[in-house]
Amino acid sequence: MDLTELIFKTVFLIIIFAVTLVVAMYSTYGERKVAAFMQDRRGPNRAGPFGLLQPLADGLKMFMKEEIIPLTANRSLFIIGPSLAMTTALLTGVVIPWGGTLTIGGREFSLQVADLNIGILYVFAMVSIGVYGIMIGGWASNNKYALLGAIRAASQMISYELAMGMSIIALVLTTGSLSLHDIVSQQHGLHWNIFYQPLGFLIFLTCAFAETNRAPFDLPECETELIGGYHTEYSSMKLGFYLFAEYINMFISSAVIATLYFGGYNMPFIGSIGLSPNIVTLLGTAFFFIKIFGLIFLFMWIRWTLPRFRYDQLMNMGWKGLIPLAMFNIVATGIYYFFTELK
């Protein structure tokens, strides 16, 4: 890797970082707007035009709040918890291919920070570490509600990670690669994986909701039973980190779903118009973001539609519903490819 590429990667990394934060920030605004619209209200519209400065006001409020660390809490772990949640949430964006290749001054630059050959596994690893942020935070609070929330979060995430991994195995059977870059480039045109793996997509989507602790699987933080769950004792920006990490997770999961099942930055019929490759790349990135925003909207739409599952229902669905279904999906995909490859 020479200097030019290093500089490009660094700049690109910073851009990705900034974009992730801005999108997560405006997801909070979007969430409030979507919630309001679905409840026949208007939502935030006082801070700036259409309330667009509301996220800044919210952030400022979070920073200004008094910071309380309970006397009985484990101080260091109490601080590590939200930091870990935030860090792991931000780390995942590295392997996602945000676009094709840009040609600047005769050199090609890939719009992906790191094309790991085990990209999907990396995503899974980061998501799994994300559980620790919640668990450590809940444990360090030394509060029974926080602990209950943390336990719920841990068991829920572990249960749904299984089904999620299995739905990915079926996907890997069709694509034959673990690299996200390869998976995207195979889905050129309209050969999106959702048409080949509809069942796998449904399973993955359900698990993504559970992994991000979003409704209807938001049991770890359910207000009525656990007074906020794992972040009961948190205040100020440490609480902000937890809430913010949730929105970053939502953005990253949407990006992963768009990459795996909706063709990533592929835009159907764009190659046949005859635009210059750089413009095609940028359009592809824009289209990728449209897909992501659509999926974020889906996340919110579901949240403001469905009531929360009961805990036994959640576990039943994970272990008795989704895992057998995912296994069936693997076997069916395997059999299909076994017989088609034979010919």
Sites of contact with another protein (CB under 8 A): 34, 37-42, 45, 301-302, 304-306
User: Any bridge partners for residue 101, and if so which?
Assistant: 110
Residue 230 identity: Y
CB 89 within 8 A of CB 248: yes
What DSSP designation does 66 have?
A: P
CB 236 within 8 A of CB 60: no
Tokens of 172: 């890997």
Rounded to a whole number of angstroms, the minimum distance from the CB of residue 272 to another protein is: 33
CB 109 within 8 A of CB 102: yes
Q: Tell me phi and psi for residue 330, to 5 degrees.
A: -60, -45
Residue closer to another protein, measured from CB, 44 or 55: 44
Q: Count other C-beta atoms under 10 Å from residue 146's C-beta.
A: 28
Q: Count other C-beta atoms under 10 Å from residue 116's C-beta.
A: 17
Residue closer to another protein, measured from CB, 195 or 301: 301
Residue closer to another protein, measured from CB, 200 or 228: 200
Q: Tell me phi and psi for residue 309, to 5 degrees.
A: -70, 155
Rounded to a whole number of angstroms, the minimum distance from the CB of residue 53 to another protein is: 17
Residue closer to another protein, measured from CB, 237 or 332: 332
Rounded to a whole number of angstroms, the minimum distance from the CB of residue 73 to another protein is: 34
Residue closer to another protein, measured from CB, 43 or 55: 43
ω before 277 within 30° of 0 (cis)? no
Residue closer to another protein, measured from CB, 89 or 295: 295
Q: Tell me phi and psi for residue 101, to 5 degrees.
A: -115, 140
Rounded to a whole number of angstroms, the minimum distance from the CB of residue 42 to another protein is: 5
CB 85 within 8 A of CB 133: yes
Rounded to a whole number of angstroms, the minimum distance from the CB of residue 212 to another protein is: 17
Rounded to a whole number of angstroms, the minimum distance from the CB of residue 301 to another protein is: 6
